[in-house]
Structure 1
């Protein structure tokens, strides 16, 4: 194994696991009404990823786009009444802990989730099924979100909007990789 391969593999694992740590900090903290665990974890994670990224400009661009997607996806879910977010100081606008999650998620798009760029169907599957499962986990395990009744409205709304957001992020990552 070459040094580069070992280094790339370590970065891949740090990228994947770091994002999961941010998710746990965000949903656990928000379930207690706290923003700071998400902001601290995401700040450290995003900074570490940008400092070690061979494509920091692309990662930063994707992060800004992801924050726009957060406003669209989670803002729509909140304003529709289908989903309510814990520790949400701004009404329909996504709370800081959600924005932290999206910023952290963007850091995975060129590393641990770069596979999304190679297979168009993966963002669809991730958006339609896995993204809503993350929200359900946040609701059931941490009381970070609450789905209005009937729950399937919120799940369908999140699944469809996450799919669109992931396809947009995928296309942007692919375009920036070819520059």
Structure 2
């Protein structure tokens, strides 16, 4: 239970560092926070190999979902070196989110419809929060277009990520920091 809370709160801390830093034009807060968080999660994970696979898939999803949305011009990201590609702080968020899929967000594995609904409805809310509270994201008129694209992208990406987490959860577990038994 303790790992679940640390996992959840750590991911939220990465989100806050990322959007607050991006609003100031900085990449480093997201990259530093994500590196510390991901490292700590991998060190205590019962399935670090699975978490690394989820991280790789999440980065691919970041390039697909946020890359497509950015290239359409529907959403503009602060601190984005290239307008057509997801900025590093967005990739850091996706990577950090991947660490939640075997811990605090593992409940998404219980039903096939949950990841679709979470992706479609709740993921765009995080972007809207980053837009309204921090100006880290800007939606171009008509705003619903960018929100819809993000929702659809996440409605496809999240079930893929959750499916990988569910499939990998069947493998034997062993944390990296597990003590060796004599």
TM-score (norm 1): 0.94
Q: CA deviation at 1:176?
A: 1.4
Question: For the residues of structure 2 that align with 1:30 and 1:159, how far apart are their CA atoms?
Answer: 21
Q: Which residue of 2 aligns with 1:144?
A: 136
- Equivalenced residue count is 171
The Cα offsets for residues 117-155 of structure 1, whole Å up to 9 and x where unpaired, read as 111121112111110000000000000000010000001
Q: Any conservation in 1 of the 2:18–2:30 contact (CA below 8 Å)?
A: yes
Residue number in structure 2 paired with 1:112: 104
| 1:4-50 Cα distance to aligned partner (Å, 9 max, x none) | xxxxx110000000000000000000000000110010000000000
Q: 2:120 aligns with which of 115, 119, 128?
A: 128
Structure 2 partner of 1:163: 155
Deviation at 1:90?
2.3
Equivalents in 1 of 2:107, 2:22: separation in Å?
Answer: 30
CA deviations 1:48-74 (Å, max 9, x no partner) are: 000010100000000000000000000
> Which residues in structure 2 correspond to 1:14-93 (within 5 Å)?
14-93=6-85
> Unaligned stretches of 5+ in structure 2?
172-182
Which sits farther off after the overlay, 58-67 or 123-132? 123-132
Tell me, in whole angstroms, the C-alpha distance in 1 between the residues paired with 2:49 and 2:82.
Answer: 30
Partner of 2:176: none
Unaligned runs of 5+ in 1: 1-8
Any idea what the Cα deviations from partners look like across 1:71-130, whole Å, max 9, x if unmatched?
000000000111000000022111010000000000000000001111112111211111
